[in-house]
Amino acid sequence: MNTLLLGPGALGAVELLALFLHFTLLSLLAIGGAITTTPDMQRWVVGERGWLTDVQFTASVALAQAAPGPNVLFVAVIGYNVAGLAGVVATMAGSLLPSTTLALAATRWGAARRESVGVRAFTGGLAPLTIGMLLATGWVLTEPLRGYPATAGLVLVAVVAMLWTKLSPLWPIAAGAIVGAFGWLG
DSSP 8-state class, residue 68: S
pLDDT at 1: 43
Average pLDDT over residues 9-20: 89
Ordered by start, the domain boundaries in the chain are: 3-125
Torsional sign, CA 44, 78, 135, 184: positive
pLDDT at 9: 61
Contact 129, 30 (CB under 8 A): no
pLDDT at 170: 79
DSSP 8-state class, residue 112: H
User: Is the pLDDT assigned to residue 108 strictly greater than 80?
Assistant: yes
Q: Return mean pLDDT, the chain.
A: 85
Average pLDDT over residues 28-42: 87
Q: Is the pTM of this model over 0.85?
A: no
* 15, 17, 23, 24 alpha-carbon torsion, rounded to 10°: -160
Average pLDDT over residues 155-184: 80
User: Is the pLDDT assigned to residue 158 strictly greater than 70?
Assistant: yes
